[in-house]
C-alpha cells in the first residue's frame, strides 16, 4: 500500500480542562478537583490520527508565539506530523478551549486565537506543498473564506478535498460541489441541508456525502442505493474525537486507493477504537491496532 501524502488545513488548540463538583454560578468562585492541559483542535486531532494510521501528514495551521504554541508544535512532531507550515504568529495567542467538567453538566468556552490567522492567503503560501498531495483535509474551525478558497484551489490543482463540516454552519453550494467528500454527523447534516430530507441529500451526492451516525456507523449512497456501513461494537469510555478519527482514517484509506466501502469500514474500525480511550487524541489507534481489529 502506498503511503499517502495528506495536507490537513485546520485548527490546533490547547484544551484547559478543570474537573469540579459543579460549575460556579454568576459571580461565584468554587474549588475544583483537578486541572489538565490536553492538545486538541479538530485540525490537529485529524493530523495526529492520520499520522498514527501511517499517512505522510503535513499540517497547515497557526499557533501563538507562546508556551501553548510550543506544546502544540511538540505534540504534532511527537506524533510524526510535519509542521513546516504551522506558523507561530505574534499578534494572537494560541487557540484555547476552557472546559469545566462538572458532575451535572459541562461547559466550554473556545477562544479561536491564532486559528483565525489560517487565512486564504496563508493557504496559498502552501500551494507548492498542496500540489503534491493525494488528499487535502479541512474542517470549520478556520475562517469561512478559507474553506471556500481551499475548495477553489483544490479544484484548480486537481487534488481531492475532504471537508468535515464541523462545527456546523451553512455552506455555499460551490463548496459542496467542489468537495470530493463531505462528512457531517447527523446534526451537522441537518444544518447543512436545511430541512431537506437527508435521503434526498444522500442520493443527490452519491459517493460524496458520508453522514456519520455514532455507534450505528456511516450512511452514504453508492449510486445504486443508500448504504449503511455499521460501526463496531465497543466498550465506550469517551466519544470525544470519534469524528476526528473517522475523518483521518477515511482520508488515509481513500488516499491509499482503497475502495469507498473498504475505506468506510476502516474508518468505522478506527473511530470505534478511539472511543475506548480517554480524550480526543488519547484514544486514537495506530495502524496495527486498526488492522488487527479488521482481521
Ligand atoms: P462526531 O464525533 O463528529 O459527533 P459521530 O458521533 O457520528 O460523529 O461518530 C463518528 C464515527 O465514530 C461513527 O461513524 C462511528 O464510526 C464511530 N463511533 C462513534 N461513536 C461510536 C460508538 N459508541 N461505538 C462505535 N463506533 C462509534
Distance 274 CA to ligand 1 centre (A): 9
d(CA 256, CA 21): 46
Distance 285 CA to ligand 1 centre (A): 14
Residue minimizing CA distance to atom 13 of ligand 1: 214
243 Cβ inside 6 Å of ligand 1: yes
Helix (H) or strand (E) segment spanning residue 175: helix 173-178
d(CA 85, CA 260): 30
pLDDT of residue 14: 97
Q: Percent of the chain scored above 70 by pLDDT? A: 100
Distance 237 CA to ligand 1 centre (A): 12
> Which stretches of the chain drop beneath a pLDDT of 50?
none
Most informative mutation of 212, 217, 263, 293 for ligand 1 (most atoms within 8 A of CB):
212
Q: What average pLDDT does the structure give for the chain?
A: 96
268 Cβ inside 6 Å of ligand 1: yes
Residue minimizing CA distance to atom 16 of ligand 1: 268
The string of pLDDT tens digits covering residues 60-92 is 999 999 999 999 999 999 999 999 999 999 999
Name the burial class of residue 143, with classes exposed (0-12), middle (13-18) and buried (19+) by CB atoms within 10 angstroms of its CB. middle
Whether ipTM tops 0.95, in short, is yes
pLDDT of residue 2: 82
Q: Is this structure's pTM higher than 0.80? A: yes
Distance 193 CA to ligand 1 centre (A): 20
pLDDT of residue 105: 86
Name the burial class of residue 98, with classes exposed (0-12), middle (13-18) and buried (19+) by CB atoms within 10 angstroms of its CB. middle
Amino acid at each position: 500500500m502506498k503511503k499517502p501524502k495528506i495536507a490537513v488545513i485546520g485548527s490546533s488548540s490547547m484544551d484547559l480542562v478543570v474537573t469540579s463538583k459543579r460549575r460556579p454560578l454568576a459571580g461565584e468562585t468554587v474549588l475544583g478537583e483537578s486541572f489538565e492541559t490536553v492538545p486538541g483542535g479538530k485540525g490537529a486531532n485529524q493530523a495526529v490520527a492520520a499520522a498514527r494510521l501511517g499517512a505522510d501528514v503535513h499540517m497547515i495551521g497557526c499557533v501563538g508565539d507562546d508556551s501553548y504554541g510550543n506544546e502544540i508544535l511538540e505534540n504534532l512532531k511527537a506524533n510524526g506530523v510535519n509542521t513546516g507550515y504551522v506558523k507561530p504568529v505574534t499578534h494572537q495567542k494560541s487557540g484555547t478551549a476552557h472546559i469545566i467538567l462538572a458532575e451535572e453538566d459541562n461547559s466550554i468556552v473556545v477562544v479561536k486565537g491564532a486559528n483565525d490567522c489560517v487565512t486564504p492567503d496563508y493557504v496559498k503560501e502552501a500551494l507548492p506543498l498542496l500540489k503534491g498531495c493525494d488528499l487535502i483535509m479541512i474542517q470549520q474551525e478556520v475562517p469561512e473564506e478559507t474553506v471556500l478558497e481551499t475548495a477553489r484551489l483544490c479544484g484548480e490543482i486537481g487534488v481531492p478535498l475532504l471537508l468535515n463540516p464541523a462545527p456546523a454552519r451553512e455552506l455555499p453550494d460551490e463548496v459542496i460541489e467542489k468537495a470530493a467528500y463531505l462528512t457531517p454527523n447527523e446534526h451537522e447534516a441537518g444544518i447543512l441541508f436545511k430541512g431537506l430530507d437527508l435521503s434526498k441529500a444522500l442520493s443527490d451526492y452519491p459517493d460524496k456525502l458520508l453522514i456519520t451516525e455514532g455507534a450505528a456507523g456511516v450512511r452514504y449512497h453508492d449510486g445504486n442505493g443508500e448504504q449503511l456501513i455499521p460501526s463496531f461494537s465497543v466498550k465506550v469510555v469517551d466519544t470525544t474525537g470519534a469524528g476526528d478519527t473517522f475523518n483521518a482514517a477515511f482520508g488515509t484509506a481513500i488516499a491509499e486507493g482503497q475502495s469507498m466501502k473498504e475505506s468506510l469500514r476502516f474508518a468505522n474500525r478506527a473511530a470505534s477504537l478511539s472511543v475506548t480511550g480517554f480524550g480526543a487524541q488519547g484514544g486514537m489507534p495506530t495502524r496495527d491496532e486498526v488492522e488487527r481489529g479488521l482481521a
